[in-house]
Amino acid sequence: GENVEQHPSTLSVQEGDSAVIKCTYSDSASNYFPWYKQELGKRPQLIIDIRSNVGEKKDQRIAVTLNKTAKHFSLHITETQPEDSAVYFCAGPNTGNQFYFGTGTSLTVIP
């Protein structure tokens, strides 16, 4: 089955700096890679996703890059703000319909 590894587990950045979170996967047939943001006590919410036919996708301050050869995809947040503080999860489906989530990255943006 799919194995998704996520790093780092915790990340602290100064407000205005960039944050990068990386996930690696094992199933070369995976074709969809979402990123979820979860605030304390709240539900996970999709912030951006990418499909395997593109290498990068950007939405304002958030971008995701995909390297299919190396089997990793990364979340990039630029000009971080305190409200970006949350836990971020990557996920990847296997060739079936399961979604395997990473272990999460706790991001703290220091004002």
Partner 1 sequence: GAGVSQTPSNKVTEKGKYVELRCDPISGHTALYWYRQSLGQGPEFLIYFQGTGAADDSGLPNDRFFAVRPEGSVSTLKIQRTERGDSAVYLCASSSSGGARTQYFGPGTRLLVL
Query: Interface with partner 1 by CB under 8 A: which residues?
Result: 6, 31-32, 34, 36, 42-46, 49, 51, 89, 91, 93, 96-104
Nearest to 51 by CA among 86, 92, 89, 11: 92
Q: How far is the CB of 16 from partner 1 (least distance, A)?
A: 28
Nearest-approach distance from CB 7 to partner 1, in angstroms: 13
Nearest distance, CB of residue 22 and partner 1, angstroms = 15
Short-list 67, 111, 90, 94, CA closest to 9: 90
- For partner 1, the closer of residues 77 and 104 by Cβ is 104
Report the residue number, 33 or 109, with the smaller CB distance to partner 1.
Answer: 33
Contact 77, 19 (CB under 8 A): yes
Name the residue type at position 56.
E
Is residue 28 packed enough to be buried (19+ CB in 10 Å), middle (13-18) or exposed (0-12)? exposed
Nearer Cβ to partner 1 (43/69): 43
